[in-house]
Structures are given as C-alpha cells and as structure tokens.
C-alpha cells in the first residue's frame, strides 16, 4: 500500500498539534544535494524544538501513513536526506542543538541530534577533553546525521567509528514512542543493544534525538608529518612500522595520490601544498602523545627508520600548529577539488589492509582497459577506507562518459566485493546504493534487515526508499 503524501491537508492537521512556526514550506536547500543527482519531492518541513515535538510529528505521520525523511546537516553523499518521490515530510533537527549536560569526571557529554560537530568539539575542548569524530564537513554536519550514517572520518584508526563513541541514545521510534536510552554506562548487557541498531540505520528505524557521547583525554602534544612513499605497499609497511614504534598513539594515517594534489593546484591554488612537484604517493600522519613526550622527535625517528628501509625518501614535519593545519587543509580540500573537476563515478570502499595494493593495481588496469581516465585514489589507509574516484581526462567532462558510469561503478564494486571488501565504507547506502545492497549483501543479512524493518516500521514511513531496495 503506497504511503500518503504529506500535503497541505496533512500539514493543516499537524500544525494544530504543534507550537507555532514548527511547520514551514520546504525551501530548496532541503530538496537538493551537493552532487545534483536527486531533487526532493517534499512540500513541507517540520522543525521541532524538542523530543516531544518529534514524537508528536512521528505519531501523526504514523496515523496518516505519511513518509518522513530525517534531515541533519544535508552533507550526505548518497542521497539519504533527499526523497525524489512520494512527497514525504522532511523532519529537520536543526533547532535541537543543545548540549544538555557535561560530565568531565566521566569523560561524557550529552548532545541533541541537531548539534553541529564543531560545536561539540568546542564543548569537549572547554572540558579539556576530545571528541575524536572529525571530518571535513564538521562545520555543518549534525550529530544525528553522523550517527545515523555511522560516520568515520580521519581518527577512526585510533578511536573507531561513530558507534564506538556513543554510550546511549534517545530516539523516537516509528510509532511515535520515545526510547529513553541516554545512559552513560560503559558496560550494560541488558538484552539487545538498540543503540547499535539505530546507529547506521540512516533514519529508517527511527529518529535519533540525542546521544551520550564518550570523550577521550586530549593528547598533551601532537605531531603531524607528510612523508613520501614509493607505493601503497610501502605505505602499508610504513603504517606497520609506525605502530611498532608508536603503538596506539597514531591517530591518523592518510594515503594521498599525486592526482589529488594536481586537482588542488588547478582548482584551489590558494591551498598551500607541501611540495611544488608532488610525489606519486605520500602519507599524512598524525600522532598524539602524553605528557613529557616529544612528537617531533618521535616522527623524526620514524622517518629515519623509514628512510633506511626504503619506505620513504622525503618528509616534512610540521613545526607549528599553523603548519600542521596547513597539512590538514590539503587533505580536507581534496574532496572539494574533486567536486570542482566533476567525477564520472566516485567510490567509497573499504578493503582488508593487505588487499589494498593489489586492488589499486587491478582496478586501475581494469578501468584503463575500458577507456583512459584520471583516477584519484586517497583515503584513510589506517582503517582500510579508500575513495577511489574516476575522472575524465583534461579537456573532457563527466557528461562525455555518462554512458560508462554504471560500467565503471560495477567494475570497481565487483572487484571490491571479490577481494573481501565493502562498497560502502563510511558514507552509507542512502538511495544511491540500494541496488548494491541486493547485489553484494549476504542474503541472510538482507532478510534479517527486512525483518527488523518490518517489525519496527511496518508501514514503511521512516525514510522510505533509503537503504533497503
């Protein structure tokens, strides 16, 4: 049975149940996404101020059989925040931005789902603590969306994905009931863990309204370095060496290909690059040490050993916080350089670490057999997450290769799957990869997911069309 539209008659009834100015006509920003692949069909957006408002909205949608698209910062890259058909209600958490409580002695804070990631960082820093989830869109990404997609980012190597940083959740389930799960416990084995069910569900099982977040001590000192490497295989060997020498103090280990540097040079020349002539491959390393340790000396020792082993022949160690930020500006602006060039097909994949070098070679060879492309391969090497993106040659556009897009994606994803990897490492499934769910997901897992969805959301109102094909 199809869902009912959240149309003007629906809005008139719902408006009477809510405070003034909770419902608005949907502005274009709620109906567009950064890559222009989908145009939303919604007419109305709800902007609740608290969890009770969210519960009222969801109960009305459940009674009316109207769809709901939860909306965070709108920074998703797989269309999870945009519904191109069916006229569902957009439910934006942008007004629910409060930091409800802080517990420095517990290394914990409680934030609402609309809180912007950089504001959570600032709150943690004021407590002399660290909330380690970090990514380029931290100034606009909101907590609810980050948890709903189980975001990763640059510090996953040391601290884990979003789900590793959450102690408890408050959420509104598809019938409008509120799960009061904002616990601050490190150990709680009382039955099924609904927290981990909702994290990564992309709004298809409920609406996260707040979370208890686990903080970490701030490193007393940090060190950042760019080191050249002759190949991805050497980068992996360097990662192993870094772990041998520095243990769990390695916070980030990013692999960067020359193509990304070239895109920055042409599209964002104001971004200061570490080398005038970029190496074919390099890695960006960050370490965080305790009191009394010297990160510069630690990185110098690492580089000296890497030099002796032939794993690197050049390196730059940041001499100040300003220079360290300049290094990170390079990494964080690579996606923007990509966007300005315009990819034919972008791939957010993960692989077993030992398979990465062979994958890069095999995928490049397979694509070159199809046509001639520019490939920008970069990502979080420490946790096996690659962004393997395919671009037209200079002077051509992605429109020239539109007829090849599906074949390119299938080539990359088939090889990823065959080598034991995942076709969705950190951006989620959204609407972009629902066909991939059918093609690559274990059928037993897919059946279990459908059963869970049917049990919690029998009418299918929560983010219809996302995640499950």
Query: pTM of the prediction?
Result: 0.92
pLDDT recorded at residue 32 = 87
Contacts of 231 (CB under 8 A, 6+ apart): 281, 357
Would you state the pLDDT for residue 342? Answer: 93
Q: What is the pLDDT of residue 158?
A: 93
Confidence of residue 80 (pLDDT cuts 50, 70, 90): confident
Query: pLDDT grade, residue 85 (50/70/90)?
Result: confident
Q: 205-261, pLDDT tens digit by residue?
A: 999 999 999 999 999 999 999 999 999 999 999 999 999 999 999 999 999 999 999
Query: pLDDT tens digits, residue range 337-348?
Result: 999 999 999 999
Q: Using one digit for the tens of pLDDT, what is the confidence trace for 446-467?
A: 999 999 999 999 999 999 999 9
Q: Burial code of 348-362, b = ≥16 C-beta within 10 A, e = fewer? A: bbbbeeebbbebbee
Q: Work out the percent of the chain whose per-residue pLDDT is above 90.
A: 89
pLDDT band at 52 (very low <50, low <70, confident <90, very high): very high
User: How confident is residue 413, by pLDDT bands cut at 50, 70 and 90?
Assistant: very high
pLDDT of 95 over the 80 cut: yes
Q: Average of pLDDT values for 39-57?
A: 95
Residues 6+ away with beta carbon under 8 Å from 444? none
Query: What is the C-alpha separation between 387 and 346, in angstroms, rounded?
Result: 7
Q: Of 324, 320, 386, 378, which is closest to residue 353 (Cα–Cα)?
A: 386
The pLDDT, as a whole number, for residue 426 is 85
* pLDDT at 67 (0 to 100): 96
pLDDT at position 135 is 86
Q: Of residues 83 and 165, which shows the higher confidence score?
A: 165
What average pLDDT does the segment 141-168 reach?
93
The pLDDT score that the predictor gives to residue 383 is 92
pLDDT tens column, 125-139: 999 999 999 988 888
Q: What is the pLDDT of residue 360?
A: 98
Weakest-pLDDT range from 36-40, 113-117, 188-192: 36-40
Predicted local distance difference test score (pLDDT) of residue 74 = 84
Quote the mean pLDDT of the chain.
95
Would you place residue 427 in the very low, low, confident or very high pLDDT band (cuts 50, 70, 90)? confident
Contact criterion met (CB below 8 Å) for 311 and 229: yes
CB within 8 Å of 193: residues ≥ 6 apart = none
């Amino acid at each position: 049975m199809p869902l009912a539209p959240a149309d003007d008659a629906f809005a008139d009834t719902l408006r009477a149940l809510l405070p003034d100015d909770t419902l608005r006509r949907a502005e274009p920003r709620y109906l567009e996404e950064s890559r222009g692949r989908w145009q939303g069909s919604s007419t109305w957006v709800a902007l609740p101020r608290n969890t009770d408002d969210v519960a009222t909205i969801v109960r009305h949608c459940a009674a009316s059989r109207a769809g709901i698209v939860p909306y965070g910062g709108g920074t998703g890259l797989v269309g999870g925040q945009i519904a191109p058909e069916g006229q569902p209600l957009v439910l934006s958490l942008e007004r629910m931005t409060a930091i409800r409580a802080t517990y420095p002695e517990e290394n914990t804070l409680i934030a609402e789902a609309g809180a912007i990631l950089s504001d959570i960082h600032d709150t943690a820093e004021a407590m002399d603590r660290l909330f380690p989830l970090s990514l380029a869109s931290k100034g606009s990404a909101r907590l609810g969306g980050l948890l709903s997609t189980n975001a990763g980012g640059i510090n996953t190597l040391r601290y884990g994905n979003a789900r590793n940083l959450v102690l408890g959740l408050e959420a509104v389930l598809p019938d409008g009931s509120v799960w009061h799960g904002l616990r601050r416990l490190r150990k709680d084995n009382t039955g099924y863990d609904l927290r981990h069910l909702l994290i990564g569900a992309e709004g298809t099982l409920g609406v996260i309204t707040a979370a208890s977040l686990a903080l970490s001590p701030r490193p007393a000192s940090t060190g950042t370095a760019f080191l050249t490497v002759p190949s991805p295989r050497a980068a992996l060997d360097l990662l192993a060496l870094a772990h041998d020498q520095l243990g769990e103090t390695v916070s980030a280990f990013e692999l960067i290909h020359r193509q990304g540097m070239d895109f920055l040079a042409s599209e964002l020349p104001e971004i200061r690059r570490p080398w005038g002539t970029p190496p074919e491959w390099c890695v960006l390393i960050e370490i965080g040490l305790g009191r009394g340790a010297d990160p510069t000396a630690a990185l110098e020792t690492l580089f000296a050993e890497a030099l002796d082993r032939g794993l690197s022949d050049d390196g730059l160690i940041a001499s100040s916080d300003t220079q360290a930020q300049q290094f990170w500006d390079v990494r964080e602006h690579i996606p923007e350089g990509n966007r300005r060039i315009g990819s034919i097909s972008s791939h957010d994949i993960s692989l077993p670490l030992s398979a990465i070098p062979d994958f890069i070679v095999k995928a490049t060879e397979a694509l070159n057999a199809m046509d001639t492309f520019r490939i920008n391969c970069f990502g979080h090497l420490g946790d096996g997450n690659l962004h393997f993106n395919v671009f037209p040659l200079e002077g051509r556009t992605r429109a020239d290769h539109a007829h090849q897009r599906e074949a390119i994606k299938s080539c990359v994803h088939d090889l990823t799957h065959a080598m034991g990897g995942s076709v969705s490492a950190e951006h989620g499934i959204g609407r972009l990869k629902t066909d991939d769910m059918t093609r690559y997901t274990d059928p037993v897992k897919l059946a279990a997911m459908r059963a869970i969805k049917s049990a919690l959301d029998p009418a299918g109102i929560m983010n219809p069309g996302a995640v499950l094909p």
